[in-house]
Structure 1
Amino acid sequence: MTKPLLKLSNLNKSFGALKATDDVSLTLLPGEIHALIGPNGAGKSTLIKQIAGGLRSNSGTVEFDGRDVTPLGTVARARAGLGRTFQISSLAMEYTVLQNAVLGALGQDGSVMRFFRPVMKNKALVDRAMSALVRVGLDGQAAKRTADLSHGQRRLLEVAVALTLEPKVFLMDEPMAGLGASGS
């Protein structure tokens, strides 16, 4: 039997009398794709935050790649291979597309001290970043300032940044927001 990559067991989160998630259980096997569908306010973003470690559950467990990660925060879960995008963009708008992607690759490397070294001259980081840009179709925009991208292109850049982390599981909050049929 295939081991689950992600297993949620009886997750609950309340904000006062409001139950945002109520006894949610889910198993994600390698290669599977799941979607959360519901109206605004249904708790989709809350559940993603619980899975990613940005919001503590009132009860329940999150297992990732066979390990209980319930007590871990977002950074530890990301380093373990849990990638995500956000509902609201968090890109460095004055940086180029490539520089944003390199920042993601730097996060995967885990070396905070690299900020004191010229990261754009690190071939391995730049190659990882360019590979992610190719995957989302933004390699031709690498030298462009992020602020000059369309909203859809920024969403694709967020995906590329997350891909530089080489995630085992990839969570996307509002994945199609701002994307037309062509992605721009």
Structure 2
Amino acid sequence: MREAIRTGSRRYTSDFLGWLHPPICHLQGMSVSAPARSYPNRRAREYLSMAASYGDAAKVVSEHAPESQAIERPLFQLIAHALELSLKAALSHQGRDEEWLMMMGHSLERCYAQALRGGLYSARDRTMDMLIEALDQPHALQLFRYPQSSSWTAPDRNAAIQAMAGHLGLVRSYIYDPAQDDCC
């Protein structure tokens, strides 16, 4: 069930048993007519900031938690979400809008492939390829968030943290590249 509701000059969409979801631009306090040039780069930096927060949390958990299967899923949820947000930062920087990013869902492989096509990496990174492959399906299927039976085997957590950190640094350089900087 989906219906539009007008409140003053704003239109909200009703989904999921009557919950009201304002359009993304209203959630951000921006008008729909925000300058097209400044929005993608600012949005990319917002995505990257969140990705870095999840990455930092993953590092803290990895450094301070005992080697145990009990923390594997929460740790890899943090890593996978940091990767998803950073890839969406790159895609936003490449000009993809919020609706397009939402349609990509939680698929790390799909986001990674699109970011590569857009020029994120100058050459394939085998370590990132393997990490994305290992985390894609469990992340997309919410395996890290909800109880499910699975035969998933966690990659080496230290290697995963290093690959994630390197990737976040690369995305930061990509987004903040002065040669590409067009705003904010």
So what's the TM-score if we normalise by structure 1? 0.31
Determine which structure has the larger strand proportion and give its number.
Answer: 1
Determine which structure has the larger helix proportion and give its number.
Answer: 2
Larger Rg, first or second structure (1 or 2): 2
